[in-house]
Amino acid sequence: MTFNASCSHKVGLAVFIGITSLLATLPAGCSNHEKAKAPPPPTEVVVVKVEPKTVPAIATFVAQIQSSHQIDIMARVSGFLERICYKEGEPVRKGQVLFKLDKKPFEAAVSAARAELDTRKSQLWTAKATLDRIKPLAAQNAASKSDLDNATGNYMTAQAGVHQAQANLDKALLDLSYTTITSPVSGVASQSLIREGAYVAAGSSSAKLTYVAKLDPAWVDFSVSQNQQASLMQEVDSGQVVTPKDQRYTVEVDLSDGKRYPQTGVVDFADPSFSKDTGTFLVRAVISNPKGVLRPGMFVKAYMKGAVRPNALAVPQRAVQQTSNGHVVFVVNDKGQAEARPVMAGDWIDSDWIIKQGLKGGEMVIVDGFMKLAPGMPVKVVSAEEMKAAQQKLQQQPKSSAAK
């Protein structure tokens, strides 16, 4: 078979043009020698330098307010309740009349006791007159010895009768006074458990009429668990915590609305034994309550202060992250990279978190910008003002693009 030379030249030219066109359609980036990607810029972060310092060691408890002097108001005599003389649930003064029982039977008893006393006194007068007459006669042997003995015995019996009648009168007067029931302290009185017209039996359950709770000062009661006490003693023995002089702890409380109560209390009692039921022991603080803001039974949050932690390491709370394995902070290592550091977190002190283990003095802890971090990423330390300015600039960029 033979080929025309001019024909073969045309075929070769067409193949070359097709290959050239195909290469022209391929993207420019598909060359065998791609350019290496540039590394990402370091992430800007704000850090704080951790330095040892002395901070207060504050223990927080759920506490309950108790009256420093709560008294049950009891009826001492039996009778019908005639009148409730106070406004239930309102403050009362010491000596203020709370209840009145029907006193007519007791007034009658007083009159009878007085009459009995008068009778006994007249008998005493007669016995004394008889004795006075017989004494000189017996001295002159004009009266027998037995007459003198009888006169003397009658006189002594009359004297005893007078004393007995006087005691009965005193008892009747005392019972009469018990028909008016007053408050033994100043405080707030609860509701009456018995209403007017009901019969009150002394010595029975109906004898309890109400109670009065003294409000100033108030008691703050809270419980310390066995584990809390053991942990505190261990920290004291190791020098991590220094207790106050004379073990004088103070207590501050937060009310239910989160506001701090203006007065500060002092711990005045700690139960020496643990409760068999709860495994805790009671601690009590006494606190001034001049306006009656703290009421018995109220729940508050108590902060026991006085001890300190020397050489403690504290970081802002926002720098500590909670993970499934515990608490973690990011630090800047010597290579300028972010390093995730597991830590053991302790108490909160204002806006800081005490770090018991995992950090050393002088390390740089990341407090802002760690949300985009991963271990090993390069970081650039900037000030808080610089980061805020960069964030504001970033927020303004979409608005500028929209305007264009």
Domain with 124 in it: what CATH number?
A: 1.10.287.470
Q: Do residues 333 and 304 share a domain?
A: no
Q: Do residues 227 and 285 share a domain?
A: yes
- pLDDT over threshold 50, residue 224: yes
Q: Do residues 301 and 316 share a domain?
A: no
In a domain, 21, yes or no: no
Beta bridge mates, 339 = 331
Query: CATH no. for residue 370?
Result: 2.40.420.20
The amino acid at residue 253 is V
Q: Do residues 225 and 298 share a domain?
A: yes
Q: Is 398 helix (H, G, I), strand (E, B) or coil?
A: helix
Q: What is the pLDDT of residue 264?
A: 95
pLDDT band at 402 (very low <50, low <70, confident <90, very high): very low
Query: CATH no. for residue 249?
Result: 2.40.30.170
- Domain that residue 157 falls in: 104-177
In a domain, 80, yes or no: no
Q: Using alpha carbons, select from 294, 263, 300 the residue that is nearest to residue 63.
A: 300
C-alpha span between 153 and 128 (Å, rounded): 10
Tokens 């004379």 locate to 246
Strands (E), 153-293: 180-182, 187-189, 199-200, 208-225, 250-254, 265-270, 280-287
Pairing state between β 43-49 and 379-381? parallel
Q: What is the pLDDT of residue 373?
A: 79
Residues 183, 206 contacting (CB under 8 angstroms): no
Q: Do residues 61 and 108 share a domain?
A: no
Q: How far is CA 158 from its chain centroid? A: 66
In a domain, 32, yes or no: no
| HSE of 165, CA atoms in CB hemisphere, 13 A | 20
Beta bridge mates, 223 = 282
Q: Do residues 267 and 227 share a domain?
A: yes
H/E element holding 299?
A: strand 299-316
In a domain, 16, yes or no: no
Residue % of the chain over a pLDDT of 70? 88
Q: Do residues 62 and 119 share a domain?
A: no
- pLDDT over threshold 50, residue 364: yes
- pLDDT over threshold 50, residue 153: yes
In a domain, 190, yes or no: no
Identify the domain boundary among 177, 196, 229. Answer: 177
Q: Do residues 358 and 302 share a domain?
A: no
Identify the domain boundary among 118, 152, 177. Answer: 177
- pLDDT over threshold 50, residue 403: no
In a domain, 87, yes or no: no
- pLDDT over threshold 90, residue 128: yes
Highest mean pLDDT among 30-39, 174-183, 318-327, 371-380: 174-183
Backbone dihedral angles phi then psi of residue 280, each to the nearest 5 degrees: -125, 165
Q: What is the pLDDT of residue 38?
A: 64
Q: Do residues 384 and 365 share a domain?
A: yes
How many CB atoms neighbour CB 56 within 10 A?
14
Q: Do residues 288 and 231 share a domain?
A: yes
Query: In total, how many domains does the chain have?
Result: 3
In a domain, 18, yes or no: no
C-alpha span between 338 and 248 (Å, rounded): 44
The residue among 346 and 35 whose pLDDT is bigger is 346
Backbone dihedral angles phi then psi of residue 135, each to the nearest 5 degrees: -55, -50
In sequence order, what are the residues at sequence separation of 6 or more whose Cβ sits closer than 8 angstroms to the Cβ of residue 154? 127, 130, 131
pLDDT band at 37 (very low <50, low <70, confident <90, very high): low
- pLDDT over threshold 90, residue 15: no
Q: Do residues 240 and 320 share a domain?
A: no
Q: Do residues 138 and 219 share a domain?
A: no
Least reliable range by pLDDT among 19-23, 54-58, 153-157, 179-183: 19-23
C-alpha span between 395 and 376 (Å, rounded): 28
In a domain, 297, yes or no: yes
